[in-house]
């Protein structure tokens, strides 16, 4: 009769001990290897909210940046929350709208690099400009957040390798080949195909990025563009903020045919936190809502009030499915299964979306993700690879390839007559 009494407490203790072990594993990993995040859109928030006038901007605490700043939500990022989220290195996106004409986009990108560098300089105790993997490690050793810059979209260079080289010279360390629209030399994932992937110029651009040591970012590009870039690339590529298409079918995510090529290339997918790219039910919801809106507009032409009333009713009857930390972990699981543990990183996309998944609404949520991964059986060594070490390896391999090409001249292309 006493045996059940003895066994019951042991059963009750099992779950808390397991949870504590997962938390300890995650904490140990993030202490040893803080998150190296591939994509954060604070710079475009500075442009949209303050027109890059940051003299009175307090980056220690942005929790008061609500609707009064015309963006309709509070910012996801500040220095206090980055520390809480165990972020040790950050690629700041110097994104500008893909709707800009190329000459305007070039100017705007330089302005975004300027404001990002000014922001870094304003907080020398917390932030440090990083241009190399050694710089990242130096910043970490000093307790500062290594701050790198990535261009989001090839429109930022105006189809010019000369401009590309100058962007590298002033600090850009990756470029996403496209954003939401095609460039004159590469197809985007979310635009009608024009080039069947990369043109000859696009392939030369990948070669030139490799020669310099600038990372080739394949988030946002069409699957054929991904394959063309991998055919040409001699250094590891990155996906700065993408998920697995087998888990969520959005065109912005990476198909298995590409994931399977990453081990040979050495590249990595930095898994995004944007809910619409994580949860497949949410993706289906957005498609259904778009179809319903089109149906209502066809039935109630010239009557926007009637359309709105009926669409509001549809929204009430069909709530948006919400993404969770578990959904994000599912993408990491899948990429591990297809590409391997050495090809995974983190690229949240905070301040470039409305919110992260439940429990990861802002940059403070990364520890919760790593606890979830630890619960799924990821070791501390695995978690350290995902958080930091894979990204550092990719940077070092890109730098090593560039060093091996030091005697190679820049690729020349003629300027227009």
Annotation marks residue 152 as catalytic: yes
Angle ∠(312,318,324) on CA atoms, nearest 5: 120
DSSP states of 208-243 as a string? HHHHHTPEEE-TTB-HHHHHHHHHH-SS--EEEEE-
Of 220, 227, 331, 334, catalytic: 220
Annotation marks residue 179 as catalytic: yes
Of 37, 39, 384, 397, catalytic: 39
d(CA 31, CA 394): 21
Measured in whole angstroms, the distance separating CA 252 from the mean position of its chain's CA atoms is 11
Please answer whether residues 138 and 181 qualify as being in contact, where contact means their C-beta atoms are separated by less than 8 angstroms: no
Q: Which of 77, 109, 72 is nearest to 90 (CA)?
A: 77
Neighbours of 118 (CB within 10 A): 13
Annotation marks residue 64 as catalytic: no
On the CB side of 301, CA atoms within 13 Å amount to 1
d(CA 254, CA 233): 17
Measured in whole angstroms, the distance separating CA 214 from the mean position of its chain's CA atoms is 16
Rounded to a whole number, what is the distance in angstroms from the first to the last CA of the chain? 95
Q: Which of 193, 262, 253 is nearest to 225 (CA)?
A: 193
Annotation marks residue 256 as catalytic: no
Of 76, 179, 250, 331, catalytic: 179
Neighbours of 31 (CB within 10 A): 11
Please answer whether residues 158 and 106 qualify as being in contact, where contact means their C-beta atoms are separated by less than 8 angstroms: yes
Of 41, 217, 333, 382, catalytic: 41
Of 37, 135, 152, 217, catalytic: 152
Annotation marks residue 200 as catalytic: no
Of 155, 227, 241, 334, catalytic: 241
Catalytic residues: 39, 41, 152, 179, 220, 241, 349
């Amino acid at each position: 009769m006493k045996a059940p009494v003895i066994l019951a407490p042991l059963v009750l203790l099992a779950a808390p001990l397991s949870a504590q072990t997962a938390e300890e594993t995650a904490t140990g990993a993030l202490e040893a290897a803080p998150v190296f995040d591939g994509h954060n859109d604070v710079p475009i928030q500075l442009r949209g909210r303050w027109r890059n006038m940051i003299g009175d901007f307090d980056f220690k605490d942005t929790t008061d940046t609500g609707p009064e700043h015309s963006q309709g939500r509070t910012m996801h990022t500040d220095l206090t929350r980055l520390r809480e989220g165990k972020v040790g290195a950050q690629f700041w996106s110097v994104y500008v709208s893909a709707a800009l004409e190329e000459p305007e986009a070039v100017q705007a990108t330089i302005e975004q690099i300027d404001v990002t560098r000014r922001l870094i300089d304003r907080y020398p105790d917390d932030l440090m400009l990083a241009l190399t993997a050694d710089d990242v490690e130096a910043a970490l050793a000093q307790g500062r957040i290594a701050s790198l810059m990535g261009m989001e979209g090839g429109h930022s260079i105006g189809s010019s390798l000369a401009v590309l080289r100058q962007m590298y010279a002033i600090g850009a360390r990756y470029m996403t080949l496209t954003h939401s629209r095609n460039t004159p030399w590469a197809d985007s994932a979310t635009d009608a195909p024009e080039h069947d992937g990369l043109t000859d110029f696009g392939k030369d651009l990948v070669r030139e990025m490799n020669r310099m040591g600038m990372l080739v970012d394949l988030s946002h590009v069409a699957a054929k563009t991904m394959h063309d870039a991998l055919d040409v690339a001699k250094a590891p590529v990155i996906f700065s903020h993408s998920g697995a298409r087998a888990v969520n079918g959005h065109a912005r995510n990476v198909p298995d045919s590409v994931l399977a090529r990453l081990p040979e290339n050495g590249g990595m997918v930095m898994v995004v936190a944007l809910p619409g790219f994580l949860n497949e039910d949410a993706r289906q919801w957005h498609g259904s809502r778009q179809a319903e809106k089109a149906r209502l507009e066809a039935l109630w032409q010239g009557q926007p009030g009637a359309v709105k009333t009926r669409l509001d009713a549809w929204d009430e009857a069909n709530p948006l499915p919400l993404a969770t930390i578990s959904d994000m972990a599912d993408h990491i699981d899948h990429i591990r299964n297809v590409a391997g543990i050495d090809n995974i990183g983190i690229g949240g996309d905070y301040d470039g979306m409305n919110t992260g998944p439940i429990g990861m609404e802002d940059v403070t949520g990364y520890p919760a993700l790593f606890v979830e991964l630890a619960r799924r059986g990821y070791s501390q060594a695995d978690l350290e690879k995902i958080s930091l070490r894979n990204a550092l390896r990719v940077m070092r391999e890109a730098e090593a390839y560039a060093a091996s090409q030091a005697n190679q001249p820049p690729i020349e292309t003629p300027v227009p007559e």
